Amino acid sequence: MKSKILCMSLLLQAIVCTAFAQSLQVTGTLKGNVTADLRLYIMPAERIWDKPDSISVVNGSIQTETSLSSIQVYKVVGVTQQRQIILPLNLKETAGRASLNLTFAADGNLTVDKANAETSALMAFNDLYVGRAKQMWMAGKTMSDTDLRNLIMGYTASADSLVNVYHPSSSIDQYLHLWAATLTFEGIENVKFATGREVAGLGIDPKAENEKLLKCVDCDMASAFESAPRLALSVIPQGSLADKITAIESQVKNKGLKVRVEDLLLNKYISTFNYADNYAEGLQELTSLTERFQLDTKYLGEFKVRKSSIAGTPFPADVVLTDLQGKKVDFAKYRGKYVFIDLWASWCIPCIKEIPHLKQLEKELQNKDVVFLSISIDTNVAAWKKKVAALGLEGELLNNQDNKLCESLNVSGIPFFLIYDKEGKLYKYNAYRPSDMRLKPLLEGLK
């Protein structure tokens, strides 16, 4: 009996230790020219979409808790009113704890005191990247073809040099080379926008180079790099959605990267699909692919929801609309009237520019069968109410806080305008703006 109790106790201790090891307690110091507006944050490098954890700074001491990095790389973010600093570093974890001593220099940069070889290599590569990025964007238009090519294609050689200088662990060595590969891809991807020059004119074959880069990036550590899925997608042959997914399944080996590449592809497919003309065909194709490749059924659900953007379909039933008092409003209350909908937000400058035209249109329109409905997509309800008051808006004012309406209608940008008929069905998708002279006669003619 005692043996069983002992085994159970050891099992519970193991479970507790495992759970504890998933987080990292970080303590240390912050020295230097620390300004009152400095805010510090930390996050594991591979959790690129997560909100970073705030670092508490009290009398020169720092303390925080963050998730444990599977690749031993973290990013410290420093934010002031003038700038944002991102500092990659390696933390040595012992029993769920690590030490971090920072200095905020007079030039506004963050450094790590007594940095180990891994952190030194990461910081050196980061400095190199920042310098090269500035050089391409500020001087790329006038650089020679050879210099610009070397700027874009030289990251891997730089990573090699830093490994030879600092001799970091194999994990950091791999991270540096993945970082170099993704930066090379981003340079190829952005060179025309940054410099106005064609990549082919620099003697670079994008497809051939990206295929080489993908071999380096196709691994678990790709989770730390936002551009990795775009890199993989760039080498996938053009064709139907089925052709592309088939290619991804065969060419991308790492499971995690494969999921991210397919997510990027499917989200683009869903957001750009012509639902009005090809809904049935698209639904059939996506259903077949979901079954064939065991894709997440969420894509099928998102595709079906966007059927609401087809003329003649009812207003989306699951959309929650609330008024200024926070009360839910059923869209059915507008039955018997044509409804001109203005989708906007308090932070949207083009939306606000349309409001004077909208007010004038409401004032001048003679057709009593038309109702004007302004629907804000503000997640911050207080900001919406404040802007409503500032603009002196009146009439039918509603808010869709969770943005379900835009998702259901496949709206990717605002302001956006729609007209629903007297039965609550979509009459006009992407209607004219209030500032467009064609809108008034259209609304006057609705009977």
107 pLDDT band (50/70/90 cuts)? confident
User: Residue 229 and residue 226: Cα distance in Å, rounded?
Assistant: 7
pLDDT of residue 33: 84
8 pLDDT band (50/70/90 cuts)? very low
C-alpha closest to that of 297 among 281, 310, 286, 308 = 286
Given a cut of 80, is residue 7 above it in pLDDT? no
Question: How is residue 232 written in tokens?
Answer: 């993989």
Element (H, E) at 90: strand 84-90
Question: How is residue 113 written in tokens?
Answer: 């005191």
pLDDT of residue 2: 44
* 261 vs 12, more confident: 261
Kindly give, in sequence order, each residue whose CB lies less than 8 Å from that of residue 48, ignoring residues fewer than 6 positions away: 223, 224, 225, 226
Terminal C-alpha separation, the chain = 85
Q: What is the pLDDT of residues 375-418, one digit of tens each?
A: 999 999 999 999 999 999 999 999 999 999 998 998 989 999 99
User: Residue 232 and residue 229: Cα distance in Å, rounded?
Assistant: 5
Phi and psi (nearest 5°) for 218? -75, 75
Q: Say what percent of the chain tops pLDDT 90.
A: 83
Peptide bond into 415 cis (omega under 30): yes
Q: What is the pLDDT of residues 311-369, one digit of tens each?
A: 899 999 889 999 999 999 999 999 999 999 999 999 999 999 999 999 999 999 999 99
- Using CA atoms, how far residue 446 sits from 57, 287, 371, 395, 419, in Å, is 63, 38, 11, 20, 10
108-112, 183-187, 324-328: the lowest-pLDDT one: 108-112
Given a cut of 70, is residue 283 above it in pLDDT? yes
Q: What is the pLDDT of residues 121-154, one digit of tens each?
A: 999 999 999 999 999 999 999 999 999 999 999 9
Give the global pTM: 0.77
Q: Say what percent of the chain tops pLDDT 70.
A: 95
Q: What's the gap between Cα 77 and its chain centre?
A: 18
Domains of the chain, first to last: 23-114 (2.60.40), 130-304 (no CATH), 314-445 (3.40.30.10)
C-alpha closest to that of 216 among 188, 262, 183, 250 = 183
User: Residue 25 and residue 99: Cα distance in Å, rounded?
Assistant: 9
